[in-house]
Amino acid sequence: MKRIEDLIEKGVDPKSFLVITFTTKAADNLINKLRKKLSNSIVQKMQISTIHSFCLEYLKSKDQSVTLIDDDASERKRLFIQKFKKDFGFVGESTVFDYHIPSILKRFSEYTCYKVDPINLAKKIADSREITQDYLDFIDSLDYFSKKRIDDHDKPIKKEIKKGNSDYEKRDLYSKSWYNARYLQIAKAYPKYREYLDRYDYVDYDTLQLKTLNELKKDTDIKYNTIFIDEFQDTDPLQFRIFEILRKNCDYFTAVGDVDQHIYAFRSSFNDFFDEMIRLDNPDVVSLDVNHRSTENIVGLTEEFIRPQRKATSNKSMRSKEKDYNNLNFLIENTDSQEEADNIYEIINTLMRDNMIRDYSDVAILYRKHSDETIANLIDKFNCDDDIDFSVVGRFDLPEQDEVKSIMTLLWYISRRTDLGYIPSKAELNELNLKAFCGEYFEPLFWSLDDSTKCYLNGVADSFNSEVIKIENEIREIRGDSKVSAAHRVKDNEDQDTLIEIFRNIQMPVVDLDKIENEKDKEFFQYLHGLRNDIMSENPLPFWKYFMI
């Protein structure tokens, strides 16, 4: 920020400033700080934004109207792949499920960033990764793709692997052929993915940058000649090429970053671009060694850990501006999760015993995820210690929250399949069903039904469960198998053919509005039915309009 102020004082035109940050929050924060030092009119003349906001604005100035369908969670891109999954060829032997889509998007990003030739890549994949004819014939024989059937086929082979059978590699693993088919189809689908983005004037982060790069190559009058890049260590190949063009046309170019940090590797960033820029331009390098956020003891501890791993080209030797001799810091090395839990437990007890904390409530333990084995072991130790009271905050994941379950139930209801032959998912059998409206699995937050309505819905669900058990037992009786009695026994059934047979003979339960006595509840389900009919129609409304109630 100080360098921006100095250049403004030297008379550099603020319209020539391009300041790139890696988050919108960082851009807003910088704008607010500059407004306190410079006039608002000066700051408004500068382009201060994320790289992607800059690209959008730049393309707009070149009369290119595009819509960004990307974000850090890639949710809209996943929906885009889902919508055109068949067109992209992710069906049949190349079938992909929703959990495969993130890896597809990662490959597409790499193809764009590194200018991969998908035709030659597809040829190399086809030559090196076998998709057996036996697998193709098997898929062709199915009414629909079934991962369960593939797993069933591979199970005996997996057992032989455990027994050390040296001939197992000669046998056909359908899961391997399926993986190879998906891998090949990703390369084949990439050109059509790009074609469909262009068809709808959509861009993802990478194609947005690619379009900007292509325009910059033709631009003979780039107005930015004072450029600042923040978090330069997270630059990806496309961004670096954009910055190369901008750098050649500017008077002042400043890149700020930390080679010890590299958090955007998942987005094709490459942590040697600092070295590359130094090699190309031989710029002035200034090492920022003073940490203004942490105290001296914290900086000293982290330096001990980071220094041996620091790149040779880094001239940093961090120190702190803040002195603090009262707080202790520990760096604990552990051989396993149990030892780590034991050490944390002992440190807490030592702090309490030596009066370094007033109460156990002074202690906070931060960790990355609730499923961490260390945390499970630590909780076990706390449970065995009557002196320690503790609570785990935010233990349930977001999908386990009642408000999220309520929304999922509503979405399930208006999009559920009710036709013969549809095999419900485990979620539908376990929680996403009519009983969810009655508070069977969570506390509904967006509706409160009358007892008469709950009684009717529970009756419909119970009748469906009874019919499932009846049909399954009829099938088992014909086969000579033992009968079942527990509701939703089918969720644990390993025989895919049995599941298919059951749901070919039963229809999913539906709500008869005439049997709902309470008028308020009837109006509620009439509204859901209206949404369902609109969504299932040939010309549905834009999705967001369904929520303008």
Residues 257, 151, single domain; the answer is: no
Per-position DSSP letters for 491-525, written without gaps between them? GG---HHHHHHHHHS-PPP---GGG---HHHHHHH
Residues 92, 174, single domain; the answer is: yes
- Phi–psi pair at 253, nearest 5 degrees: -130, 120
**DSSP H helical ranges for 172-268:** 174-199, 205-218, 237-248
Per-position DSSP letters for 68-113, written without gaps between them? E---TT-HHHHHHHHHTTTTTT-SGGG---GGGHHHHHHHHHHHHH
Residues 410, 500, single domain; the answer is: yes
User: In what side-by-side order are the strands of the sheet with 47-50?
Assistant: 47-50, 17-21, 226-229, 252-255
Residues forming beta bridges with residue 20, ordered by sequence position: 49, 229
Q: Which pLDDT score, from 0 to 100, does residue 165 have? A: 57
Considering 222, 256, 286, which residue would you say is the last residue of a domain?
A: 286
By C-alpha distance, which of 271, 333, 322 is closest to 299? 322
Q: What is the DSSP letter of 490?
A: G
Asked if residue 489 lies in contact with residue 472, where contact means CB atoms within 8 angstroms, the answer is: yes
Residues 17, 89, single domain; the answer is: no
Considering 145, 168, 200, which residue would you say is the last residue of a domain?
A: 200
Token pair recorded at residue 24 = 């919108």
Residues 89, 195, single domain; the answer is: yes
Residues 108, 180, single domain; the answer is: yes
Residues 136, 23, single domain; the answer is: no
Question: Is 490 inside any structural domain?
Answer: yes
Residues 421, 513, single domain; the answer is: yes
Count other C-beta atoms under 10 Å from residue 207's C-beta. 23
CA dihedral 18, 21, 25, 30 (to 10 degrees): -50
CATH number (domain holding residue 248): 3.40.50.300
Question: 160: Cβ–Cβ under 8 A, 6 or more apart, which residues?
Answer: 167, 168, 171
Q: What is the DSSP letter of 226?
A: E
By C-alpha distance, which of 18, 507, 409 is closest to 216? 18
Burial class (CB in 10 A: 0-12, 13-18, 19+), 58: buried
By C-alpha distance, which of 491, 503, 409 is closest to 457? 409
Q: What is the biggest distance separating any 2 CA atoms in the chain, rounded to whole angstroms? A: 92
Q: CA 394 from chain center: how many Å? A: 19
SS3 category, 212: helix
Per-position DSSP letters for 308-334, written without gaps between them? GGS-TT-----EEEE---S--------
Question: Is 396 inside any structural domain?
Answer: no
CA dihedral 300, 306, 310, 315 (to 10 degrees): -20
Q: Which pLDDT score, from 0 to 100, does residue 288 have? A: 82
Q: What is the DSSP letter of 14?
A: G
Token pair recorded at residue 165 = 């059978």
Domains in the chain, number: 5
Asked if residue 385 lies in contact with residue 397, where contact means CB atoms within 8 angstroms, the answer is: no
Question: Is 136 inside any structural domain?
Answer: yes
Q: Which pLDDT score, from 0 to 100, does residue 423 have? A: 81
Residues 354, 446, single domain; the answer is: no
**CA-CA distances (angstroms) from residue 412 to 30, 69, 201, 531?**
43, 25, 31, 12
d(CA 125, CA 184): 6
Token pair recorded at residue 282 = 């031989």
Question: 211: Cβ–Cβ under 8 A, 6 or more apart, which residues?
Answer: 55, 59, 64, 66, 203
Question: Is 100 inside any structural domain?
Answer: yes
Q: What is the DSSP letter of 398?
A: G
Global pTM value: 0.69
Residues 304, 351, single domain; the answer is: no
- Phi–psi pair at 331, nearest 5 degrees: -115, 110
Residues 53, 151, single domain; the answer is: no
Per-position DSSP letters for 525-539, written without gaps between them? HHHHHHHHHHHHSSS
Mean pLDDT by 10 residues, the chain (549 residues): 90 94 91 91 94 95 92 86 94 94 95 95 96 95 87 73 56 90 98 96 96 95 93 90 91 86 53 76 82 85 82 77 73 91 94 92 89 90 91 75 91 88 82 92 92 96 90 83 65 63 87 95 94 78 47
Question: 48: Cβ–Cβ under 8 A, 6 or more apart, which residues?
Answer: 17, 19, 21, 27, 30, 31, 34
Residues forming beta bridges with residue 295, ordered by sequence position: 322
318: containing domain: 288-331
Residues 282, 300, single domain; the answer is: no
Q: Tell me the pairing of strands 67-68 and 202-203.
A: parallel
What's the chain's Rg over C-alpha atoms?
Answer: 30
Residues forming beta bridges with residue 195, ordered by sequence position: none
Question: Is 29 inside any structural domain?
Answer: yes
